[in-house]
C-alpha cells in the first residue's frame, strides 16, 4: 500500500505516501510550478527549501511547451531536471476559469486558449494523456468546476459531470495499453478524484461517495478558496472528509493562509498547494515569526498542541523598513534570512522594481510554508495517539 | 603604491590594484549593479561566478534609496551585504543621457529626474558626496559627456568642463574634512578622472593630459561605445593611452563585445564594464564556446597568444532549441551549465516569460565575461615578457 498513516493527533495525521519519484511525508505543501517553474526559483533554491514535491498544471503545459516537447524531453522531470515527485492539476479549473469557454458537453469542452485564442478541445482522456506525457507522479481526474457563486442546479451538474469524467479517466488508465508514460518509468502514477459540490454539504458528500465508489489512490477537495468564507470552506471539508477512506491521502486544492492550512490538517487533510506564498512575495508581502517557536535541542518543535501557527504578514514596500537592518525574519533559516540580507535592502529592491526582490522574498515565503508543514508534522509525530 | 603591473604581453598587462575592500587582479570585468543589484542575481551567485568587484551608479542610487538611507545602512556594501570592492560611475553619463536636462552651467547641472520628474541639481561636489555615502572603493570624477555624434566645438566644451569639474572633485576630496566616508572605513577610496574627447584623437590626448596634470589614482576612457564604429573606438583608445601613466590603472567605460574587450586589453586597458552580458541574457541571447579552450591539468588556459576569444552568440528563444537537451554551453563551469539545465528548459522558460529564464541566462553570461578575463589574465601571466 502506498499510503500509510503513522501518527494522528487532534484529528490531524502524519503519513507517508509512496510515488514513482520517492516517498512523501505528510502533511506537506506543494510550491506551485504552474508552467514548469516556481516563479523566480531555481533547483538550487529547492535544495535549501527542501520541499518534497512540486505542483504543475496540465492546461498550461499543454499549451506550452506542448505534448511533443514533453514527450521528447523526458516529461517535466526531464525538462526541469527535478527528480522528486510532481503532482499535476488536471486543467479542469483552468479551462473553466482562465480560458474563454465556447462549448461544454458531457463528452468534451471546447474553449479558446488564454494565450493566443486558438480553439482547443479538452476531454478527460486528453487530460490523462497530457499528465502521462508530463510524467506526473500524482495526477488529477479532469473535473468540472461550476464557478463561484453557483446555484444548486449548476453545482449538481458539476458533480454529475465530475463523476462521469472521473470514470472515463479511470477507464482510460485501465486500458490494456495502460497509458503508463515512459516519462514515469512505465508506471501509472497515482490518480486522484476531485470532490466538487460547491457550498452544498450534501452535494459534497454525494460527490465524495461517487468518487470513492469508482476508487482512486487519493481524493482531492476542489472548488474551494474561490470566494466563500473560511467557515463555509471548513464546513465543506467536514462534509467531505468522513466519506473519504481513512487509508487514502486527502488533498485540499488551493488553500490557503497558514491558519487555514492548520485548520484543514486538523480536519484530516494531508496535502496542500496555494499561490499565496509566491504571489504575496512578488508584491513584497512576507510571512514572519513575531517570536520563535519553542524548539528542542535537535531543532524539533516543542508545542503543547497544534495552536502553534503564530505569524505576522509584513509589507516590505513600506518606508518603515527603509533603514531596518534586521533580517526579514530572525527566526527563519531560509537562505534569504541567513545570508545577511536586511529588510532595508529588500525594501530598496522592491522600490526600484528589481527582480531580485521577488526572488529573495519568494525563497523566504515558500520556505516559511514548507517549514510550517514540517513543524506541524513534528508535533503530530511527537503527540500521536497511535 | 596601490597599482602594480606584474606581467605584460602583446601590449596587454596583468596587474594588481589595492582598494579598501581588497586587491583586484587585472584585467577584470565589473558586472553592473546600477541600483545595487545585478538584475536577477543574488550574492550566492557572485560566490560561484567569483567576480572581484561590482559597479554601481551614483545618479540612480542618489534618487533611490537616497543619501540618508545609504549613510544609515553602511553604504552600499552594508545595504547589499557585499564585502568586495565597488566602483561607482559619477552619474555624469546618466545626467546627460537619461534625465531631462534643464540647464547646464560651468557651476552645476539642473535636470529632471527620469523617475518622477522632480528638479534636481548636480555638482561635481555632490557627485563626490554621494560616492562617499555609497562608500565606493573606486569613484569617478563627475564628467560632461557631449553625446554622440557631437561637433568638434561641443566636444571641446565637454573636455573643458570635464577638466574643470575633475579639479573640483579632487579639491573637494582634499579639503581638511577630506570627505572620507565612514562607509569606507574613514579612507578616501581611489579617484579616477574620465577622459572625454568624442571621436577627435587630439581632443582625447588633450583631455588625458589635462587629467594627468591634475593627478588621479587611475584614468577612465569615457564617452565610447555610444554609436561610433569599433575602429573609431580603438583609434580613440590608442590616442589616449600613451598620455596616461603606465603605473596607473586604465578603465574603458561601457565596452563591450568580448573581441572588443580583448582588443582594448591589447591596447593597455585594465578594467571593463558593460551591460551586454546582462541585457542580452534577459533577451535570451547567450555567449557560448563552440569548442573548448585548451586547458592544462590545473584548468589554466593554454593558448599561443591572445587570439583566444572564440565564442558564438545564440538566441535561446529559437524553436531549434525546443527539444535540445544539451547544457547551454558544454565548456562552461557556471552553475546554470553544471546544474543539469538544458537549452530546451531555458527555451521553454523564455517562451512562457518566466523570470527564472532571465536569472539562469544572466548567471551564465556574467560568468562567461568574468571567466574570459580570468583566461586573458592567465595568458598574460604565462607569456609575460617581464
Angstrom distance (rounded) from CA A99 to CA A115: 9
Angstrom distance (rounded) from CA B194 to CA B172: 17
Query: What grid cell was written down for A337?
Result: 534570512
Confidence of residue B177 (pLDDT cuts 50, 70, 90): low
Share of chain A above pLDDT 70, in %: 97
- pLDDT, residue A175, reads 84
- pLDDT, residue A177, reads 59
Q: Which chain A residue lies closest to B69 (C-alpha atoms)?
A: A323
pLDDT above 70 (res A5): yes
Is A292 within 8 Å of A48 (Cβ atoms)?
no
Question: What average pLDDT does range B5-12 have in this prediction?
Answer: 94
pLDDT above 80 (res B293): no
Chain B residues touching residue A40 (CB < 8 angstroms): 355-356, 359
Query: What grid cell was written down for B163?
Result: 577638466
Q: Which among B89, B137, B329, B375 is annotated as catalytic?
A: B89
DSSP B209-276: HHHHHH--SEEEE-S-SSSS-HHHHHHHHHHHGGGS-TTS-EEETT--SHHHHHHHHHTT--EEE-SH
> Where is A312: in which H helix or E strand?
strand A312-315
Q: Cell 510532481 sits at which residue?
A: A86
Let me know the angle formed at the C-alpha of A169 by A20 and B352, rounded to the nearest 5 degrees. Answer: 70
Angstrom distance (rounded) from CA A209 to CA A215: 10
Q: B115 or B23: whose pLDDT is higher?
A: B23
Contact B81 A345 (CB under 8 A): yes
| Cα radius of gyration rounded to whole Å, chain A | 21
Q: Check CB contact of B281 with chain A, cutoff 8 Å.
A: no
Q: What's the mean pLDDT when you consider all of chain A?
A: 93
pLDDT in tens, A109-120: 999 988 898 999
Which of these ranges, A152-161, B177-186, B214-223, has the smallest mean pLDDT?
A: B177-186
Q: Write down the ipTM of this complex.
A: 0.96
- pLDDT, residue A211, reads 98
DSSP SS3 for B353: coil
Is A91 within 8 Å of A129 (Cβ atoms)?
no
Question: What average pLDDT does range B294-311 have in this prediction?
Answer: 72
Q: Cell 553602511 sits at which residue?
A: B74
- pLDDT, residue A304, reads 63
- pLDDT, residue A114, reads 87
Q: Is B143 a catalytic residue?
A: no
Chain B residues touching residue A69 (CB < 8 angstroms): 322-323, 344, 348
pLDDT above 60 (res A176): no
Residues in Cβ contact with A32 at an 8 Å cutoff, skipping those fewer than 6 apart: A38, A54, A55, A273, A274, A275, A278
- pLDDT, residue B134, reads 97
- Count, in order, helices (H) and strands (E) of chain A: 14, 16
Q: A195 or A146: whose pLDDT is higher?
A: A195
Q: Cell 578616501 sits at which residue?
A: B188
pLDDT in tens, B128-145: 999 999 999 999 999 999
Is B33 within 8 Å of B55 (Cβ atoms)?
yes
Which of these ranges, A126-135, A172-181, A276-285, A326-335, has the smallest mean pLDDT?
A: A172-181
Question: What average pLDDT does range B11-26 have in this prediction?
Answer: 97
Residues in Cβ contact with A299 at an 8 Å cutoff, skipping those fewer than 6 apart: none
- pLDDT, residue B59, reads 95
Contact B73 A42 (CB under 8 A): no
Query: What grid cell was written down for B1?
Result: 603604491
- pLDDT, residue B179, reads 60
pLDDT above 60 (res A83): yes
Name the nearest CA neighbour of A355 among B196, B165, B300, B45: B45
- Sign of the dihedral through C-alpha B229, B235, B238, B244: negative
Q: Check CB contact of B325 with chain A, cutoff 8 Å.
A: yes
Chain B residues touching residue A72 (CB < 8 angstroms): 323
Name the nearest CA neighbour of A347 among A325, A375, A374, A316: A316
Domain range annotation of chain A: 3-273, 281-383
Angstrom distance (rounded) from CA A54 to CA A29: 9
Question: What average pLDDT does range A228-234 have in this prediction?
Answer: 97
- pLDDT, residue B178, reads 53
pLDDT above 70 (res A312): yes
Pick from B75, B79, B338 the residue to mutate for testing the A interface (most A CBs within 10 Å).
B79
Question: What average pLDDT does range B253-282 have in this prediction?
Answer: 97
- pLDDT, residue B184, reads 75
- pLDDT, residue A292, reads 79
Residues in Cβ contact with A177 at an 8 Å cutoff, skipping those fewer than 6 apart: none
Residues in Cβ contact with B230 at an 8 Å cutoff, skipping those fewer than 6 apart: B256, B260, B263
Query: What letter does residue B129 receive in the DSSP assignment?
Result: H
Let me know the angle formed at the C-alpha of B236 by B230 and B242, rounded to the nearest 5 degrees. Answer: 135
Q: Which chain B residue lies closest to A47 (C-alpha atoms)?
A: B339
Question: What average pLDDT does range B180-184 have in this prediction?
Answer: 71
Architecture field, domain B3-273: Alpha-Beta Barrel (3.20)
In A55-74, the residues whose Cβ lies within 8 Å of chain B are: 60, 64-65, 68-69, 72-74
Torsion of CA A187, A193, A194, A195, to 10 degrees: -160
Contact A322 B44 (CB under 8 A): no
- pLDDT, residue B102, reads 83
Angstrom distance (rounded) from CA B67 to CA B80: 15
pTM over the 0.90 mark: yes
Q: Check CB contact of B358 with chain A, cutoff 8 Å.
A: yes
Residue B50 burial (C-beta neighbours within 10 Å; 0-12, 13-18, 19+): exposed
Is B172 within 8 Å of B141 (Cβ atoms)?
no
Taking the CA of residue A319 and the nearest CA in chain B, the distance in Å comes to 11
Residues in Cβ contact with B314 at an 8 Å cutoff, skipping those fewer than 6 apart: B285, B286, B288, B321
Is A120 within 8 Å of A113 (Cβ atoms)?
yes
Q: Check CB contact of A214 with chain B, cutoff 8 Å.
A: no
Contact A81 B37 (CB under 8 A): no
Q: Is B324 a catalytic residue?
A: no
- pLDDT, residue A188, reads 79
Angstrom distance (rounded) from CA A39 to CA A57: 14
Confidence of residue B181 (pLDDT cuts 50, 70, 90): confident
Phi-psi label, residue A22: left if phi above 0, alpha if psi -120 to 50, beta otherwise = left
DSSP SS3 for B301: strand
CB < 8 Å & 24+ apart, contacts of B295-303: B300/B378, B300/B382, B301/B375, B301/B378, B301/B379, B303/B375, B303/B379
Amino acid at each position: 500500500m502506498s499510503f500509510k498513516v503513522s501518527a494522528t493527533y487532534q484529528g490531524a495525521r502524519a503519513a507517508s505516501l509512496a510515488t514513482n519519484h520517492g516517498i512523501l511525508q505528510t502533511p506537506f505543501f506543494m510550491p506551485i510550478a504552474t508552467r514548469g517553474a516556481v516563479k523566480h526559483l531555481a533547483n538550487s533554491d529547492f535544495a535549501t527549501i527542501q520541499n518534497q514535491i512540486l505542483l504543475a498544471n496540465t492546461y498550461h503545459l499543454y499549451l506550452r511547451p506542448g505534448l511533443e516537447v514533453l514527450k521528447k524531453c523526458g516529461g517535466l522531470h526531464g525538462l526541469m531536471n527535478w527528480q522528486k515527485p510532481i503532482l499535476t492539476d488536471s486543467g479542469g479549473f483552468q479551462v473553466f476559469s482562465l480560458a474563454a469557454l465556447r462549448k461544454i458537453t458531457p463528452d468534451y469542452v471546447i474553449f479558446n486558449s488564454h494565450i493566443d485564442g486558438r480553439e482547443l478541445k479538452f476531454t478527460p482522456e486528453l487530460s490523462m494523456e497530457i499528465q502521462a506525457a508530463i510524467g506526473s507522479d500524482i495526477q488529477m481526474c479532469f473535473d468540472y468546476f461550476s464557478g463561484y457563486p453557483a446555484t444548486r442546479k449548476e453545482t449538481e451538474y458539476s458533480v454529475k459531470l465530475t463523476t462521469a469524467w472521473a470514470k472515463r479517466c479511470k477507464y482510460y488508465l485501465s486500458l490494456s495499453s495502460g497509458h503508463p508514460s515512459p516519462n514515469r518509468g512505465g508506471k501509472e502514477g497515482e490518480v486522484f478524484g476531485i470532490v466538487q459540490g460547491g457550498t452544498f454539504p450534501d452535494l459534497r458528500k454525494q460527490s465524495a461517495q461517487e468518487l470513492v465508489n469508482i476508487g482512486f489512490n487519493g481524493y482531492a477537495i476542489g472548488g474551494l478558496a474561490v470566494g466563500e468564507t473560511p467557515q463555509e470552506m471548513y464546513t465543506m471539508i467536514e462534509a467531505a472528509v468522513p466519506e473519504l477512506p481513512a487509508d487514502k491521502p486527502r488533498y485540499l486544492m488551493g488553500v490557503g493562509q497558514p491558519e487555514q492550512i492548520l485548520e484543514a490538517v486538523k480536519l484530516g487533510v494531508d496535502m496542500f498547494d496555494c499561490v499565496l506564498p509566491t504571489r504575496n512575495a512578488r508584491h513584497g508581502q512576507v510571512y514572519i515569526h513575531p517570536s520563535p517557536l519553542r524548539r528542542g535541542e535537535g531543532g524539533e518543535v516543542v508545542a503543547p498542541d497544534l495552536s502553534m501557527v503564530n505569524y505576522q504578514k509584513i509589507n516590505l514596500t513600506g518606508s518603515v523598513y527603509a533603514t531596518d537592518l534586521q533580517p526579514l525574519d530572525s527566526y527563519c533559516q531560509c537562505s534569504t534570512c541567513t545570508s545577511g540580507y536586511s529588510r532595508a535592502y529588500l525594501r530598496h529592491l522592491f522600490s526600484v522594481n528589481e527582480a531580485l526582490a521577488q526572488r529573495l522574498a519568494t525563497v523566504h515565503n515558500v520556505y516559511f510554508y514548507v517549514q510550517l508543514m514540517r513543524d506541524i508534522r513534528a508535533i503530530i509525530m511527537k503527540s500521536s495517539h497511535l
